[in-house]
Amino acid sequence: MLSPEELKQRYMQQWERGNRRERLIYLLLNTLLPDGFRAELTGLGAGENRYIDRSYGSLEEAFDITLYYHGKPCCFLDVTGVKSPRDAKPNIGYCIGEWKIEKAKKYGVIHQTWAVFVIDDELAFLFAPVKKFDTVLAKKAYLYKDERPVKCLPRARWLRWNRFKQWLIQYGPVYAKLLQQTTP
């Protein structure tokens, strides 16, 4: 099993594409978010192409994008994707690293953490609550034998922007208040 440092080294040449996805989602969100909400690239290395020789050390550094409601964090996004639909695994759906689920649990934010899956060639982006990857709906897989497992949901389980926006309007203010009460 590859360590996080070995994974960083293996995928270094793909950082630029991943960081472009993060910046794209960041810009789209700040264009489309309802009043009172804003997005920030807060994850360690989010939006950057340089190697960072450390791991995340806080909740906001743990996820690519943090959404704020009136200046208070309310939702966390982890951005991933593929260049083309052909690059996705058709039998298992779209995947996120299992460690991302564990990270959301560790910080107690599994209910307000979402995965964003970008398909570059289609300029498509889909949302899925990370908590769904921790259920029987998700399939465990290994994209490569020497790497840590991923959890995958069929495309039909991923939501379009309007459904995520509805969730955010309904629950974002509640989670902003909750997070403010639970974080020092």
Model confidence pTM above 0.85? yes
- Give CA separation, 124 vs 21, 45, 118, in Å: 11, 23, 6
Give the model's pLDDT for residue 3: 57
Report the CATH number at residue 116. Answer: 3.40.1350.50
- Structural domain range at position 45: 4-182
For the chain, list residues with pLDDT below 50.
none
Residue 159 carries which DSSP code? B
Give the model's pLDDT for residue 9: 54
Give the model's pLDDT for residue 26: 97
Give the model's pLDDT for residue 133: 96
Q: What's the structural domain count of the chain?
A: 1
Give the model's pLDDT for residue 92: 82
Question: How far apart (Å, rounded) are the C-alpha atoms in residues 114 and 65?
Answer: 10
Neighbours of 10 (CB within 10 A): 13
Burial tier of 150 (Cβ tally within 10 Å: 0-12, 13-18, 19+) = buried
Question: How far apart (Å, rounded) are the C-alpha atoms in residues 79 and 19?
Answer: 9
Tens of pLDDT, residues 28-41: 999 999 999 999 99
User: Mapping DSSP to helix (H, G, I), strand (E, B) and coil, where does residue 3 land?
Assistant: coil
